[in-house]
Structure 1
Amino acid sequence: MPTGWSARELESRLRELATARYHDRHPFNQRMHRGELSPDELRTWVANRFYYQCNIPVKDSHILAKLSEPGRRRSWIRRIQDHDGTAEGEGGIERWLRLGEAVGLDRQDLLSQRRLLPGVRLAVDGYVNFCRNGSVLEAVASSLTELCAPSIMMTRLETFPVHYPWIAFSGLSYFRERVPQGRRDGGEALDWVKEWAVTRADQDRALAALSFKCDVLWSLLDSVQQGVPR
């Protein structure tokens, strides 16, 4: 049986995988950041990504239920609160709704999932089920795409005002909030994975889980790209 890598080597491999496979490389995201998307394309992305946003606290609830230590549960529950908020009108889901309004979508259209594409539903539901049915190591490792999230959020904060000035700057608050949250969450999850994944078998499981999550995000954008109104 192969010997497990050191924590430093495992971290290097996880970061390398995340960087190489993250969806910032997807043609749709690259076009977005170059300012080449039409308003309809942006609206299709926002409407469908909303389904993913709504399911983040759902998958985090499944992970929370797998954590046996109170301290880890206290820490992980912040992620649910980040998206659901601690009061009405707060949180990442609410901020995404405001982004939807800023790009010209009706809030009720987003909430009703009227624009949701079948491929997006399939990808997101697959991720939720992965976190429900997998081990705690696999579920937490799958969240390590957070390591790349701050960078893509910063890119959007820099490029949207330049290329899409018709979107109110206030509508970009989701991106601003996710920069510090992503740094915190990615670092925390990475520390836990390095602590738990000592054997080579567990390390391979962690890498496979992160690869799967990258596939989810890529598949979501494939569906959006194909589902834009022509």
Structure 2
Amino acid sequence: MTALEPLSTADFAAALYAHSERYWHNHPLHLRLHQGLLGEAELRSWIANRWYYQKWLPQKDAAVLANCPVPEVRRRWVRRILEQDGLAFGHGGNADWLALAEAAGLSVAEVVDERHVLPGVRFATDAYVQFARTRPWIEAVAASLTELFSPELMRERLGALHTHYSWIDPAGLRYFEQRPAVADADAAHAMELVTTYCTTRAQQDAAVAALSFKCDVLRAMLDAVEHTHLGASV
């Protein structure tokens, strides 16, 4: 059986960008969030459950580092861990997310001890971390390309939180103020890596599949939160 020819860089990039339609920006929960239709309990649940995903990101990125044999890649990728964990206590993406939780009326203790984390969110997040640990490093990089679609969503969400959820202390919105610029830079770097190191059609197809898997992970997380609260309201 003859192997398929690799896609051109432009066609490969187009195949990756096509997943924008599968991203979680159009999930019903996100749509209702941006329309100001979430109640306080549901929004707090979303924040508490998203924490579980947030807190695992540095270890996911550490798995990429562990599997990657290229020093130049590791030197740049390690910034993701520092951005999320921060250079000191109280700094970084995870600290900013906990500040959001407090601004929304949750205690840090109840978020960190994961008492609100739903099984579906835990299962989806754990599957993503396991993927990064066990698959080739470039596939884990490809999975991270959902960041291609996230900056504009976060900017929209920041506006929605200011407009519709005035009960949240604006001081707690730093995560959405800071993250879009970081995500833009990280996504550009990841795209450069994927288009450079995926040189065969099999590698390109695996990268596309990895991004598809990540889109499923993100949507499964929201499904779990939405179904729990819709069921409680019936």
TM-score scaled by length of structure 2: 0.96
Deviations 1:174-222 (A, max 9, x none): 1111111100100000000000112111111000000000000000000
Partner Cα separation in structure 1 for residue 67 and residue 117 of structure 2:
30
Equivalent residue letter for 1:8: A
Correspondences of 1:131-170 after superposition (within 5 Å): 131-170=132-171
Residue aligned with 2:155, SS: helix
Counterpart of 2:201? 200
Counterpart of 1:94? 95
Correspondences of 1:1-230 after superposition (within 5 Å): 1-17=3-19, 19-228=20-229, 229-230=232-233
Residue aligned with 2:37, SS: coil
Partner Cα separation in structure 2 for residue 120 and residue 99 of structure 1:
19
> CA shift at 1:143, angstroms?
0.3
Partner Cα separation in structure 1 for residue 203 and residue 74 of structure 2:
22
> After the TM superposition, which parts of structure 1 deviate over 6 Å for at least 4 consecutive aligned residues?
none
Partner Cα separation in structure 2 for residue 73 and residue 4 of structure 1:
26
Partner Cα separation in structure 1 for residue 157 and residue 172 of structure 2:
12
> CA shift at 1:67, angstroms?
1.8
The answer to whether the 8 A contact 1:130-1:139 is kept is yes
Partner Cα separation in structure 2 for residue 41 and residue 224 of structure 1:
8
Moved more, 162-171 or 93-102: 162-171
> CA shift at 1:69, angstroms?
2.1
Equivalent residue letter for 2:80: R
Partner Cα separation in structure 1 for residue 14 and residue 211 of structure 2:
13
Residue aligned with 1:46, SS: helix
> CA shift at 1:227, angstroms?
2.0
Moved more, 87-96 or 1-10: 1-10
The answer to whether the 8 A contact 1:149-1:178 is kept is no
Partner Cα separation in structure 2 for residue 216 and residue 140 of structure 1:
15
What is the aligned-residue identity percentage? 44
Equivalent residue letter for 1:10: F
Deviations 1:57-97 (A, max 9, x none): 01000001112122211100100011100101101111000
Equivalent residue letter for 1:102: A
Deviations 1:99-147 (A, max 9, x none): 0011110110001101111111000000000000001121110000010
Paired residues, number:
229
> CA shift at 1:223, angstroms?
0.3
TM-score scaled by length of structure 1: 0.97
Equivalent residue letter for 2:98: L
Partner Cα separation in structure 2 for residue 175 and residue 109 of structure 1:
22
Deviations 1:22-55 (A, max 9, x none): 0001100011011110000100000000000000
Structure 2 spans left out of the alignment, 5+ residues: none
Equivalent residue letter for 2:18: E
Equivalent residue letter for 2:178: E
Partner Cα separation in structure 1 for residue 104 and residue 228 of structure 2:
18
Equivalent residue letter for 1:37: L
